[in-house]
Amino acid sequence: MIHELYSTGPYDEVQPEIREVYEDIMETMGIPFVPNFFKAQGHDYELLRGTWDTVQATLYHGELPRVLKELIIYVISEQHSCRYCSDIHGMIACRLDPSLNQDVLLELTMTGHTSRLSEGELLAINLASRA
């Protein structure tokens, strides 16, 4: 029962309204796949739609630049040893800002600092990661 509830079945087998949300996720995030975080909610359109709407409101709107939001999520994911989340958000951050790469992300994770970010950006990341 639990396995069926959280199944991440093949993309071409999901209901059309779920596929529509998946397409929006891939297009908006600029990635060629649907993250498992969303696939695991693909059994329930309302849940998936609500989650995706919340993620969009958080990551794509507001005062902070998206790359900074991605870096905040990356650092927090690293602190909590969530490799899957840190990999995805690190990848997206690097796509959004070509001056970022794995070495810069590692430096940020290990030292809380990198010369690639402003003091204000570093302060925001460090503050958010301590909340």
Which residue bears the tokens 């975080």?
37
Cut 0.85: pTM above it: no
User: CA–CA distance from 90 to each of 55, 77, 123 (Å)?
Assistant: 16, 10, 18
More confident residue, 5 or 40: 40
User: CA–CA distance from 18 to each of 47, 48, 62, 95 (Å)?
Assistant: 10, 8, 27, 26
| C-alpha span between 44 and 63 (Å, rounded) | 31
Residues 71, 30, 72, CA angle at the centre, nearest 5°? Answer: 10
Express each pLDDT in 94-103 by its tens digit.
999 999 999 9
